[in-house]
Amino acid sequence: MAREAPKERTTMYTLSAFGDEIGPDLQEQMEVLSAQKVRYLELRGAWGKNVMEFSDEDVRRAQALLARYDIRVSAIGSPIGKIKITDNFDEHLEKFRRAARLAQMFGTQYVRVFSYYPPEGGKIQDHRDEVVRRTRLLAEEAEKEGVILGLENELDLYGENPEGNLDLLNTVNSPHLRAVFDPANYIIAGIRPYDRAYPLLKEWIEYFHIKDAFPGRQGEHFTCVPAGEGQGQISRILADFAPYASRRRTFLTLEPHLSSGGRFSGFTGPAKFVTAVEALRRILSDIGASYG
The model carries a pTM of: 0.92
Condensed to tens digits (0 to 9), the pLDDT of residues 265-289 reads: 566 778 999 999 999 999 999 999 9
Is the pLDDT reported for residue 8 higher than 80?
no
Condensed to tens digits (0 to 9), the pLDDT of residues 200-244 reads: 999 999 999 999 998 755 444 457 899 999 999 999 999 999 998
Condensed to tens digits (0 to 9), the pLDDT of residues 94-123 reads: 999 999 999 999 999 999 999 999 999 999
Q: Are 38 and 16 in contact (CB under 8 A)?
A: yes
The terminus-to-terminus CA distance of the chain in angstroms comes to 34
Condensed to tens digits (0 to 9), the pLDDT of residues 145-172 reads: 999 999 999 999 999 999 999 999 999 9
Question: Helices 162-172 & 128-145, crossing angle to 10 degrees?
Answer: 60
User: What is the DSSP secondary-structure string of 178-222?
Assistant: EEEE-HHHHHHTT--IIIIIHHHHGGGEEEEEE-B--SS-BTB--
Residue-range domains of the chain with CATH = 12-291 (3.20.20.150)
Q: Are 147 and 180 in contact (CB under 8 A)?
A: no
**218, exposed or middle or buried, with CB in 10 Å at 0-12, 13-18, 19+?**
exposed
What is d(CA 108, CA 151) in angstroms, rounded to the nearest whole number? 16
Condensed to tens digits (0 to 9), the pLDDT of residues 67-96 reads: 999 999 999 999 999 999 999 999 999 999
Give mean pLDDT, residues 52-67: 98
Is the pLDDT reported for residue 128 higher than 60?
yes
